[in-house]
Structure 1
Amino acid sequence: MNQVNPGTWPRLNPIWCLLLPMIILVGCLYLVPVINVLLMSVSEPHVGLENYHRMMSARGPLRVLFTTLRVSAITTVLAVLAGYIVSYAMANVGEMHRRILMLGVVIPLWISVLIRSLSWMVLLADNGPVNSSLIHSGLVSAPVHFVNNEIGVVIGMTHYLLPYAVLPIFAAMRDIDQRLLFASRSLGAGATRTFLKVYLPLTIQGAFAATVIVFVFGLGFYVTPAILGGGRVVMMAESINVEIMQTLRWGFGAAQAVFLLVITVVLVRLMAKTVGFKKGLGS
Structure 2
Amino acid sequence: MTSTVTRDAVSASPPAGAEAPRRRRRPRGTWLLLLAPALAFDAVLFLTPLGKLVEASTHGDAYQRVLKDPLVSRSLLNTFEISALSTLATVVLGYLLAVVIWRRGPLARVILFALVLLPFWTGVLVKNFAWAVLLQDNGLVNAALQGLGITDAPLALLHNRFAVVLGMVHYLLPYAVFPIFAALAAIDDRLELAARSLGRARCRSSAGSFCP
TM value normalised by structure 1: 0.58
C-alpha distance in 1, partners of 2:208/2:158?
A: 41
Q: Could you tell me how far 1:150 is from its partner in structure 2?
A: 0.9
Q: Could you tell me how far 1:118 is from its partner in structure 2?
A: 1.5
Partner of 1:43: 56
Match of 2:174 among 163, 168, 180: 163
| Residues 161-216 of structure 1: CA deviation (Å, up to 9, x unaligned) | 11111111111111112232232223222222222322110xxxxxxxxxxxxxxx
Q: Could you tell me how far 1:122 is from its partner in structure 2?
A: 1.5
Instruction: Name the CA shift for 1:109/1:38 in 2 (closer, same or farther; >3 Å).
Output: farther
Q: Could you tell me how far 1:34 is from its partner in structure 2?
A: 6.5
* Number of residue-to-residue matches in the alignment: 188
Letter in 2 for 1:184: A
C-alpha distance in 2, partners of 1:184/1:35?
A: 61
SS in 2 for 1:43: helix
Greater RCO structure (CA 8 Å; 6+ sep): 1
Instruction: Name the CA shift for 1:124/1:36 in 2 (closer, same or farther; >3 Å).
Output: same
Aligned-residue CA RMSD (Å):
3.2
Match of 1:77 among 72, 88, 98: 88
Instruction: Name the CA shift for 1:135/1:63 in 2 (closer, same or farther; >3 Å).
Output: same
Q: Which runs of 5+ in 1 are unaligned?
A: 1-6, 202-283
| Residues 113-159 of structure 1: CA deviation (Å, up to 9, x unaligned) | 11101211121111111111111111000000001111111111111
C-alpha distance in 2, partners of 1:34/1:192?
A: 55
Match of 2:65 among 54, 58, 69: 54
Written as runs of structure 1 = structure 2, the 5 A alignment for 1:59-138 is: 59-138=70-149
Contact 1:87/1:170 (<8 A) preserved: yes
SS in 1 for 2:150: coil
C-alpha distance in 2, partners of 1:112/1:97?
A: 25
| Residues 231-269 of structure 1: CA deviation (Å, up to 9, x unaligned) | xxxxxxxxxxxxxxxxxxxxxxxxxxxxxxxxxxxxxxx
Match of 1:196 among 163, 185, 207: 207
SS in 1 for 2:81: helix
Q: Which runs of 5+ in 2 are unaligned?
A: 1-22
C-alpha distance in 1, partners of 2:34/2:110?
A: 38
Partner of 1:177: 188
Instruction: Name the CA shift for 1:61/1:99 in 2 (closer, same or farther; >3 Å).
Output: same
